């Protein structure tokens, strides 16, 4: 009996513990569930709120983008309007053109100086990099083509139409006219020929030395080198090449060129179109005659080589493209060929090629010649002896340059 009672009591106690254990488990589960829900609500934002926030953000970005686009369009329109106004202003165009021109000349000067240094060739003392702030404008640069053997010719020019020493410097300052004898160097730099020119330069100071080896068959290369060097050194409206056996009236030349100052690309001289000479051994033989078509054809129009002038833009063109410009054996043909295909105005001015027999009566009639020479000699025959006589008969007078206004 007692054993049964004890056994039943044990069963009741075991059942009671099992019931408590289930209740506790149930409440604990509810508690953990509530706690988990509360924890999740605090840690993660509601999806609806996130969507709304993102939509609002996208809308703000869209509005900002529209504002930026509007600002850009407005800025472009304002810029176009401003540029349009600037382009309409002649002063703005002139200033822009001057800036571009200065930069071009500085680039050419730097290239030429670098090539001279690398080649170790003699260069004129004038050949310095231009200073933008102090660079002045000149009317013309007159380069007198000469050779090592032409000392007497140079002296005849100095005694007649090229002012000496201080007068020449005053001409540069007052009238904007640069005048130099143009010569390169010998095949043996520093030899007796170069030393003779250096001594002459020390006395007169009127040479422009080129990075060029002298030679009759190299006149085209010398012409190219002259325009390139002169353009780098001096900012002029015109660049003139003349031979040292030609008489020139400088004031008349300046007045004639000044008429074309507003022409951007002008090529002035006595235009001709001579025959292409295919036969070897004759003077002015053209080795590349086959390029000009059938035998007996003529050259294209070009200025005769005794004297011609080109405007600043054409000198710039030669400087920039010097490495790709073809050289014919005759330098006047080469120069004319360089301008083929360009929008260049050719000016045929017969006052640049008067004869020494008719320049006198033309001067008496008030039609002063710019240049005079003998066609039969392609210059003044025996110019070293006759230059003074031609100057006396055909010259414009000692006060012409002083009274000239360009």
> How many angstroms separate the first and last alpha carbons of the chain?
153
Residue 282 within a domain: no
* Mean pLDDT, the chain, integer: 80
- Report residue 381: phi and psi, to 5°: -60, 130
Beta bridge partners of 346: 267
Is 50 exceeded by the pLDDT of residue 100? yes
Helices (H), 244-344: 250-258, 312-320, 331-338
| Confidence category of residue 4, pLDDT binned at 50, 70, 90 | very low
Is 60 exceeded by the pLDDT of residue 64? no
Say how far apart CA 177 and CA 140 lie, in whole Å: 5
Residue 98 within a domain: no
Tens of pLDDT, residue by residue over 389-398, are: 999 999 998 8
Say how far apart CA 209 and CA 184 lie, in whole Å: 5
Q: What is the pLDDT of residue 21?
A: 57
Q: What is the pLDDT of residue 29?
A: 61
Is 90 exceeded by the pLDDT of residue 295? no
Residue 112 within a domain: no
- Which contiguous run of DSSP H or E holds residue 56? helix 47-88
Tens of pLDDT, residue by residue over 177-234, are: 999 999 999 999 889 999 999 999 999 999 999 999 998 889 999 999 999 999 999 9
Instruction: Pick the more confident residue, 103 or 357.
Output: 357
Is 90 exceeded by the pLDDT of residue 259? yes
Instruction: Pick the more confident residue, 90 or 240.
Output: 240
Compute the 3-state secondary structure of the chain and give helix, strand, coil in percent, each to the nearest 5.
55, 15, 30
Q: Interior CA angle at 310 toward 128 and 119, to 5°?
A: 35
Say how far apart CA 319 and CA 338 lie, in whole Å: 12
Say how far apart CA 359 and CA 353 lie, in whole Å: 9
- The residue-averaged pLDDT of 287-304 equals 92
Q: What is the pLDDT of residue 373?
A: 98
Residue 53 within a domain: no
- Which contiguous run of DSSP H or E holds residue 137? strand 137-145
Is 60 exceeded by the pLDDT of residue 17? no
| Confidence category of residue 114, pLDDT binned at 50, 70, 90 | low
What 3-state class would DSSP assign to 348?
strand
Instruction: Pick the more confident residue, 288 or 109.
Output: 288
Residue 346's domain spans which residues? 138-270+304-403
Q: Among the listed ranges 123-132, 219-228, 291-300, which one has the minimum average pLDDT value?
A: 123-132
- Which contiguous run of DSSP H or E holds residue 236? strand 235-243
Residue 248 within a domain: yes
Instruction: Pick the more confident residue, 104 or 324.
Output: 324
Is 50 exceeded by the pLDDT of residue 357? yes
- Which contiguous run of DSSP H or E holds residue 168? helix 165-175
Among candidate residues 261, 270, 249, the one with its CA nearest the CA of residue 311: 261
Q: What is the pLDDT of residue 296?
A: 83
Q: Are 249 and 368 in contact (CB under 8 A)?
A: yes
Q: How many domains does the chain have?
A: 1
Is 70 exceeded by the pLDDT of residue 404? yes
Give DSSP secondary structure letters for 61-93.
HHHHHHHHHHHHHHHHHHHHHHHHHHHH-HHHH
Q: In this prediction, what percent of the chain has a pLDDT beyond 70?
A: 67
Residue 222 within a domain: yes
Residue 202 within a domain: yes
Is 90 exceeded by the pLDDT of residue 138? yes
Residue 90 within a domain: no
Among candidate residues 234, 248, 11, 6, the one with its CA nearest the CA of residue 102: 234
Instruction: Pick the more confident residue, 34 or 323.
Output: 323
Query: Torsion angle of alpha carbons 349, 356, 274, 307, nearest 10°?
Result: -50
* CATH of residue 351: 3.90.550
Is 90 exceeded by the pLDDT of residue 145? yes
Q: What is the pLDDT of residue 392?
A: 96
| Confidence category of residue 98, pLDDT binned at 50, 70, 90 | low
Q: Are 237 and 138 in contact (CB under 8 A)?
A: yes
Is 70 exceeded by the pLDDT of residue 40? no
- The residue-averaged pLDDT of 161-166 equals 93
């Amino acid at each position: 009996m007692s054993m049964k009672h004890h056994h039943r009591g044990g069963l009741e106690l075991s059942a009671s513990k099992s019931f408590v254990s289930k209740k506790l488990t149930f409440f604990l589960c509810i508690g953990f569930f509530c706690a988990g829900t509360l924890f999740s609500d605090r840690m993660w934002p509601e999806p609806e709120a996130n969507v709304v926030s993102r939509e609002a953000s996208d809308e703000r970005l869209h509005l900002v983008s529209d504002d930026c686009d509007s600002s850009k369009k407005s800025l472009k329109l304002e810029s176009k309007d401003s540029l349009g106004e600037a382009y309409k202003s002649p002063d703005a165009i002139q200033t822009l053109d001057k800036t571009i021109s200065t930069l071009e000349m500085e680039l050419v000067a730097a290239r030429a100086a670098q090539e001279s240094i690398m080649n170790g060739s003699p260069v004129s003392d004038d050949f310095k990099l231009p200073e933008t702030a102090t660079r002045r404008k000149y009317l013309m640069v007159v380069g007198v083509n000469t050779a090592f053997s032409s000392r007497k010719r140079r002296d005849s020019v100095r005694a007649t139409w090229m002012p000496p020493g201080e007068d020449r410097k005053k001409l540069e300052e007052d009238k904007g006219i640069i005048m130099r004898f143009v010569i390169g160097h010998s095949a043996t730099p520093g030899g007796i020929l170069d030393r003779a020119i250096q001594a002459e330069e020390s006395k007169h100071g009127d040479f422009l030395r080129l990075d060029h080896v002298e030679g009759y068959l190299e006149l085209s290369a010398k012409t190219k080198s002259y325009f390139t060097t002169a353009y780098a050194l001096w900012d002029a409206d015109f660049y003139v090449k003349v031979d040292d056996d030609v008489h020139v009236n400088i004031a008349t030349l300046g007045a004639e060129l000044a008429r074309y100052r507003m022409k951007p690309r002008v090529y002035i001289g006595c235009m001709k179109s001579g025959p292409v000479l295919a036969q070897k051994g004759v003077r002015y033989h053209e080795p590349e005659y086959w390029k000009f078509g059938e035998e007996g054809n003529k050259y294209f129009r070009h200025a005769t080589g005794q004297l011609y002038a080109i405007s600043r833009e054409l000198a710039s063109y030669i400087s920039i493209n010097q490495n790709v410009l073809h050289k014919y054996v005759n330098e006047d043909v080469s120069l004319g060929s360089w301008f083929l295909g360009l929008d260049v105005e050719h000016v045929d001015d017969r006052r640049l090629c008067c004869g020494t027999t008719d320049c006198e009566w033309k001067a008496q009639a008030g039609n002063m010649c710019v240049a005079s020479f003998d066609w039969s000699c392609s210059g003044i025959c025996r110019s070293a002896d006759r230059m003074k006589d031609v100057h006396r008969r055909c010259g414009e007078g000692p006060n012409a340059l002083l009274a000239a206004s360009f």
